[in-house]
Structure 1
Amino acid sequence: MRLELGSPPEDGDLYNAFINALYAAGAGKGTIKMYSVAIREFLEFVKKDPRKVTSDDINRWIIELSSKAKDNRSRSVTMRYYVIAVRRFLKWLGINVKPVMPRAKRKEIKALSEEEIQKILASARTLRDKLIIKLLTETGMRANELLNINISDIDFNRKMIRLRVTKNGEERVVFFTDDTLDLMKKYLKIHDGEKLFQMTYPALYKAIRRLGEKVGINGLRPHMLRHSFATNAIRKGIPLPAVQRILGHKDIKTTQIYTHLILDDLEKAYREAFG
């Protein structure tokens, strides 16, 4: 669903008016943060009325961003998202520009095998940590979505969770297994509070990283467990559009990045068979 941002004001602070329009239209927190930073940095660079911006202004800014980036991948991804944000802002103002669109290099996707997931679960000493790993690897939810689950969002009979705080601001439903239901019931007997998990993102990140280090998986992070769910779901035969909906992707092209890992499986099987 494309956000309807209305019309810009005739005068005044156009930057703040645009950000307020994003809030009013229901844009996700991540989107608003990225747009805020990108547009603010661009306006500080160009130092002119945004209604007078040209494609060349944006191209010069891209070169400036490129010189500051720490590595090639982050440079390409950052520039692409920033240009998209600025172009959307200018289009809202009625300014039609066609700057260079930096090509984003494909992000390396790291996913765990089911065997590795079982090792991590075995290394978890608390019900909380076991439940976190089970939910992230069975639902593909994002870390922030996990941390915003209220117990009232869980349907224990149908074994599903309604995610109300999502990246794009749209609610969706994810499902979990009987094993996870049993684990959740045990956890809730010793847990008190409205939220399922009373912890911050840094605490979650550290807990998952420690679990990975126990079994020799360095650099384990929450999003890698999301990748693992997506990859294993496709391997098990869940149709790509269904995986897209479970993950909450707007565009199925985003979900398709996981298919190259499945192609790796096919190639390995072929090489083993034919040498």
Structure 2
Amino acid sequence: MKLDIGSAADDVSLESFVNSLVLAGAGKGTVKLYSAAIKDFLNFVNKDPREVSTSDFNRWMMSLMSRKGKKSKVDEIEEKRAKTVTVRSYAIAVKRYLKWVGKDVKGPLPRIRRREYKALNEKQALALLNAVRGRKGRLAVRLLLDTGIRSNELLSLRVVDVDLDHNLLRLRNTKNGEERVVFFTEETATQLRSYVRGKDPQSRLFDISYQALYKLIRRAGKRCGIEDLRPHILRHTFATMAIKKGIPLPVLQKILGHHDIKTTQIYMHLVNDDAQEIYKKAFG
């Protein structure tokens, strides 16, 4: 839904714009993003926003794209895509602010590379589990496959978040900031019960870094013949398996923590591709 924030009068300050966003019903995430983007832009151009040109806007965009973030060798493709998404979001925020102050700049928005979704089949998922070394790593992978949670959600879990009476996890540190509940199997519950015995309820369930989790999964994948495996592929794997097993999309949306069901529907394409392969094998 598009927020109606009107237009500026004499006060073109960032504070005035943010107040108009809040009054129009913008969420905390939107306000935070817009504030950061506009503040960065105004610091860069260092002039009255009513005097900004398209050239100023384009120079700022170029500076954003050239800035170096935290260096990580984990997943360069995903990092580049995430950076483009951020720059595009910043550009939209600044364009909206400038339009509010009466300036309509024509600078282009960066195109976001379409994300490629891959998922394991059930045979590969089982092979991966068997290839993981160590109880902690095997349990971490099992939970990713059982629940479809994101790696940062898994790594932020504390022992107290595990409910072994109802076979569920309470996720408190989520992408959109909203707590949610996910479920795990009885087999996983048996292993969890042994794993958490004697642990401090407030301690982290898995005291490892994302890099360690990434390497653990990648190495296990190589052992069973699966190349370029990343933790997020296990989320895709859970989603496609859930659809195949008959879980309705609205329920899957809730489990995955998607705000928009269109995000959940992308997994239908993976299921359709799988169906096509089965059809080809059957009918040639």
| TM-score bucket of the superposed structures, by smaller chain | 0.7 to 0.9
- Asked if residue 152 in structure 1 is aligned to residue 151 in structure 2, the reply is no
Asked whether the 8 Å contact 1:73–1:105 carries over to 2, the reply is no
Residues 127-167 of structure 1: per-residue CA shift (max 9 Å, x gap): 21111011111111111111111222222221111111111
**Amino acid of the structure 2 residue aligned with 1:264:** D
Out of 267, 270, 274, the residue aligned to residue 279 of structure 2 is: 270
TM-score (norm: length of structure 1): 0.76
| Superposition deviation, residue 232 in structure 1 | 1.5
Query: How many equivalent pairs are there?
Result: 265
Q: Which residue of 1 aligns with 2:187?
A: 179
TM-score (norm: length of structure 2): 0.74
Asked whether the 8 Å contact 1:156–1:181 carries over to 2, the reply is yes
Asked whether the 8 Å contact 2:172–2:179 carries over to 1, the reply is yes
- Asked if residue 83 in structure 1 is aligned to residue 88 in structure 2, the reply is yes
| Superposition deviation, residue 73 in structure 1 | 8.8
Asked whether the 8 Å contact 1:244–1:252 carries over to 2, the reply is yes
**Amino acid of the structure 1 residue aligned with 2:171:** L
State the percentage of identical aligned residues. Answer: 44
Out of 170, 174, 181, the residue aligned to residue 178 of structure 2 is: 170
**CA, structure 1 residues 65+232, in 2 after alignment: closer, same or farther (shift >3 Å)?**
same
Q: Which residue of 2 aligns with 1:231?
A: 240
Over aligned residues, Cα RMSD in angstroms?
4.1
Alpha-carbon separation, structure 1, partners of 2:259 and 2:2: 10
Asked whether the 8 Å contact 1:76–1:103 carries over to 2, the reply is no
Q: Which residue of 2 aligns with 1:48?
A: 47
Residues 9-29 of structure 1: per-residue CA shift (max 9 Å, x gap): x58776xx89xx9xxx6539x
Q: Which residue of 2 aligns with 1:197?
A: 206
Unmatched 5+ residue regions in structure 1? none
Give the secondary structure class of the aligned counterpart of 2:29.
coil
Q: Which residue of 2 aligns with 1:256?
A: 265
- Asked if residue 222 in structure 1 is aligned to residue 221 in structure 2, the reply is no
Q: Which residue of 2 aligns with 1:139?
A: 147
| Superposition deviation, residue 38 in structure 1 | 5.5
**Amino acid of the structure 1 residue aligned with 2:89:** I
Q: Which residue of 2 aligns with 1:109?
A: 117
**CA, structure 1 residues 231+26, in 2 after alignment: closer, same or farther (shift >3 Å)?**
same
Asked whether the 8 Å contact 1:39–1:82 carries over to 2, the reply is no
